[in-house]
A and B are shown apart, each in its own frame.
Chain A
Amino acid sequence: MSYLFVDGEEMERKKINNYTFSDIIKLWFWYDLFMEFSFKDWGNHLYNHYFVSKKVRERWWRKLLCCWLIGWFIGSQWIFWFMNSQADYKRRETLASMCDERARMLQDQFNVSMNHVQALAILVSTFHHSMSPSAIDQMTFARYTERTLFERPLTSWVAYAVKVPHSEREEFERKQGWSIKKMVKDEEHPTRGNDSSFEDEPSPIKEEYAPVIFAQDTIKHVISVDLLTGKEDRDNILRARESGKGVLTAPFNLLKSNRLGVILTFAVYKEELPSNATPNERIESAIGYLGGVFDVETLVDKLLHQLACKQSIMVNVYDTTNHLEPISMYGSDVIRNRIYHNSSLNFGDPYRRHEMHCRFKHKRPLPWLAITTSIGSLVIALLVGYIFHATVNRIAKVEDEYLNMIELKIRAEAADVAKSQFLATVSHEIRTPMNGVLGMLQMLMDTNLDITQQDFVTTAQASGKALVALINEVLDQAKIESGKLELEAIKFDIREVLDDVLSLFSVKSLAKDLELAALVSDQVPENLIGDPGRFRQIITNLMGNSIKFTERGHILVTVNLAEEVMGSSVQEGMESTSTNTLSGYPVVSRRHSWEQLNSFNHEGLMIPNSFYVLSSDEIKLVISVEDTGSGIPKESQPQIFTPFMQVGPSIARIHGGTGIGLSISKCLIGLMKGEITVASEPEIGSTFTFTAVFSHGNHLKPNEHRLREFQGMRAVIVDPRLSRSVVTRYHLQRLGISVEIVTDPNQEISHVKNGTSMDVNMVLIEKDIWLKDTDSYSRFLGKLRNSNLPNFPRLFLLANPGNTCMKFVAKESSMGIVPTLVMKPLRSSMLASSLQRALGTEDKENHRHNGLSLSSLRSLLKGRNILVVDDNLVNLRVAAGALKKYGAEVARADSGKKAISMLKPPHQFDACFMDIQMPEMDGFEATKIIRSMESDMNDCIKRNEISPEDCSGVKYWHIPILAMTADVIQATHEKCLKCGMDGYVSKPFEGEELYREVARFFYAKKTQ
């Protein structure tokens, strides 16, 4: 059996181990999967719903995180690009507008200068050609141009050439006094103003000539040079006279300033020409040409000077007549790949094209805004991603921890269950052999032992009993902790329970000479519904505790209704003051401990939260156990209700015990919806107070057995100590005796004095007081005797059992008083019997079933026919043998069916003992069938179908059937009765029980 279970368990454990291990592997695997973004083997891992869902979720989060990061990376780049291009665009815009502005201004300036040159041309045409003789000669021209130079600041010089056809050359040369000279080419470009480049070489013979006749002084040397011999000049002249507009040459280096310049040429016509004149008409009409040199560089420089932010922008002007080879007119060479803006310039010459290129002087600064914005957004995204990641990780971690916790919780719970099982098993295992030990000890005590051996055995048995008690307590604790303990709800009398407990402790109190007493308020109902066993256990625990720690004085148990305590309507005398106590020793006030209960605040009102709301038939009791013991130090008081906790380690050595009792009591009180508290002062004593809720039992029938013989009697208690007399009064009142308390023996009893014919049946006096002051008490008695009372009151002395009682009897008898001693602690039953004995009202019926013995059982069973039914031969024979021993005639049946056939009426059997557990047909079933057979028979008899004579004179068939069972459980018992059985006995037979059961119906039979 065992190995099998071990195997199974181990297998289970292995399975668990594999599980967790594989889980870890799977976890890794999932991680790898995620890293590779692989989805294969998906289905293989759907083995555990939770795990999968968790993993999938995790993976999903991770993917999302990745997308987020990548997205924001791209996003930040886009932001950078966008902002950068925006900035770029703006820059270009600025550049374009600046460039266009410059181009326009340059063009305007140039046009202004050109207009001046044209004006000069008109001047020449007006004063030179239209007047005869000419109003202008070289001198005039030079002076005029010199003086109007301010109008043309950009024009270096101007010169005028006339058109001379070849036919007129000689005349012209003669008239002027010089011959027309040829212009010499200098290198590639035609140059002007360079003295050395002109030689006095006459111009070759051509169709026409354009010799310079007027010139500014600075270039006087060009006079007489034929402009048509220079290629550029010739082009210019031809184009100028064709178009009638100012034309420009390609830029060239000016000789003097080494700057770039262009030559501007205007044609001068004989007469005004219409605007739509053909080029030929223009050529025909042209009579001279005016040329000027523009210093473009200076022009641009000046222009730029006028404008602000000259520094930030760089301007290049190009002549782009030939697109492939633009000629730079202004500005240094630049790297062409930089951004620039191109504005076209119109200088009024349709043949020539000019462009202005503008660039920023400085490279564009790094786009810091774009960089910071994009980086910033990336950083924010990263942070958000990190937070997200951390959160997800945290969630995962918490989930893992949660799983761990659950596992730990399960394990802890399993351990708790195991602990309880272990406790239960071990306790049970110890209890069984301990019972053997105790039984053997009991048997040993019955043998002949000498005194020493007897002592040893007694000690051993006491220890054993203590051990069993401890084990029971531990079991209780385990049961309570596992919540398996349930309270019974049965009717009980709390006063009887207290009496029982008092008698239990009376021996112990005798040894210590303590006074024990119980006092129940008369407002507490007689019948309560609750668990008397557990209530008794609590009281026993508390009293046991008190007795352990009390060396002198008393222990008093009081029971009050909670309403009484709260309303301060505690019965007179029930509340003790520091001097007025049971034994005269000071005690800790009960009220003090009551006040510590949560249910009461200092005003004596209920605090709703902590107060269990009672239903209408529930009552709450406040029970106090007061002692005059050693007390509990203040600092230890909170700990005393924890299991195995004692006040100081030395206590255990002195008094023994484990300290589990209070803890159990507290748990039990908790089950009774109450609470416990303690008030204690060292060297004065402790008062434990607890509350408990019980149901009202008054609707149930009151106890019938209450003694009625004392009803109407009167008693007088003479005691100066009120607390003590109240206890006595309580017990007397329970017996139905009305009581008067006299505190001073010299005081007159009220109704005695009044002379009424009230009857005083008894006088109760504490013995120690009697001994102290016999005389005055005797006088008191004498007074009572003298008053005309019909009965002479009996004297009872209340004595603690420790006191010797012999010495005074003679003395009192001499006085004609025979006192009866009543031993404390007072209990109703004991007090009643004492009173009965003294007053002669003893109940004669009280003796019943006292001499229970084998012989009585034998007398019951002798000659009876009994059927024993059991499937097991051993049991059958043993049971039969036992019954035979008591003189019964025994028949045996080994199955239910056989029993039925034997018990089919009519038969001779007086009783049947039936085993319950039998194969085929069990005891219950068999009994049911037998009962139905009997009722059939009875019906027949009733209807006189069968005369009773046929059935051996029996008129009513009902054979007593007793179940024999090994498990004596309540449920079985109930089932027995339900099936028509009359009772049950345990197997193997036990004398007393057998007698009890058999006696029930055999007696009844006799009376029938």
Chain B
Amino acid sequence: MDAKLLQRELLELTTRVLEEGVIDKQFLEIQTLRDEDNPNFTDEVVALFFEDAQKLINEITKALEQGQNYVDFGKISADAHQLKGISASVGAKRITDLCIAFRGFCDQLISEGSLQQLHYEFSLTKNKIESIFKLEKQILAAGGMLPGM
């Protein structure tokens, strides 16, 4: 496919994902961090993020399902904080916001499906970013240039 066309498609996709609030400017910042020395920087970071985030979400889920008698809110809060930190770093905005809310819920003991929402947001973010990466790879394959490089 024509690289120009793909580039345009990528731009549109990125804009849309930005508009949806799945990612924010920080993600674009990260994309600008890759250079000739380290062209896979973004991929690596994001892959790391997915890995860590998945781990944290599993931790939170486990902590919540551990039993009805005792729920370690301290741990959940810490995990949520961690998740917030890494998602903010890669610019996964919706997860960041959710984590902020999530921590608030931990304190106030009110949460309506926020765990499910967390799972959902995570898969959504993953989906979107992966589709961006896929497009980028296609562009590279077509011999085009990526923005920020």
Contact = CB atoms under 8 A, between A and B. Distances in A.
A1 B85 contact: no
Interface of A: 1-2, 4-5, 7-8, 421, 425, 428-429, 432-433, 436, 440, 443, 872-875, 877-879, 881-882, 884-885, 917, 966, 987-988
A2 B112 CA distance: 5
Given A1-B115, A432-B97, A881-B30, A440 B89 contact: no
B111 A988 contact: no
Q: Give the secondary structure class of B's interface.
A: helix
Contacts of A881: 30, 33, 41, 45
Given A429-B101, A874-B45, A884-B33, 12 more contacts: A1-B111, A1-B115, A2-B115, A5-B109, A8-B68, A425-B110, A872-B89, A874-B52, A877-B41, A878-B33, A878-B89, A987-B88
B44 A966 contact: no
B121 to A, nearest CB: 13
A872 B82 contact: yes
Given A4-B71, A7-B68, A878 B114 contact: no
Interface stretch (B2-10, B18-26, B138-146): B18-26
Given A421-B108, A881-B33, A966 B88 contact: yes
27 contacts: A1-B114, A2-B114, A5-B110, A7-B68, A8-B68, A421-B108, A425-B110, A428-B104, A440-B19, A443-B18, A872-B86, A872-B89, A874-B86, A874-B90, A875-B85, A875-B86, A875-B89, A878-B89, A878-B90, A882-B33, A885-B33, A917-B81, A917-B82, A917-B85, A966-B81, A987-B89, A988-B26
B49 interface: yes
A443 B24 CA distance: 11
Nearest to B49: A874
Interface in B61-99: 64, 68, 71, 76, 78, 81-82, 84-86, 88-91, 93, 97
Contact of A877 (B18, B48, B112): B48
A429 B101 CA distance: 9
Contact of A440 (B18, B32, B81, B86): B18
B48 A873 contact: yes
Interface in B1-60: 18-19, 21, 26, 29-30, 32-33, 41, 44-45, 48-49, 52
Contacts of B49: 874
Nearest to B26: A988
Interface residues of B, number: 41
B21 A436 contact: yes
**7 smallest A-B Cβ distances: which pairs?**
A881-B33, A874-B86, A878-B89, A1-B111, A874-B49, A875-B89, A2-B111
B75 to A, nearest CB: 12
Contacts of A987: 85, 88-89
A48 B115 CA distance: 41
Nearest to A875: B89
Contacts of A429: 101
Contacts of A421: 108
Nearest to B44: A877
B33 to A, nearest CB: 4
Contacts of A4: 64, 68, 71
Nearest to A884: B33
Contact of B89 (A8, A433, A879): A879
Contacts of A2: 111-115
B105 interface: yes
Contacts of B91: 988
A917 B101 CA distance: 19
Nearest to A915: B85
Nearest to A421: B108
Contacts of A879: 89
B10 to A, nearest CB: 16
Given A1-B111, A1-B114, A1-B115, A878 B30 contact: yes
B85 A882 contact: no
B64 A1 contact: yes
Contacts of A872: 52, 82, 85-86, 89
A875 B29 CA distance: 13
Contacts of B33: 878, 881-882, 884-885
Contacts of A1: 64, 71, 76, 105, 111, 114-115
A966 B85 contact: yes
Contacts of A440: 18-19, 21
Nearest to A966: B85
Nearest to B93: A436
A892 B110 CA distance: 39
A661 to B, nearest CB: 28
A875 B91 CA distance: 11
Contacts of A8: 68, 109
A785 B84 CA distance: 71
Contacts of B18: 440, 443
A7 B44 CA distance: 42
Contacts of B32: 885
A877 B45 contact: yes
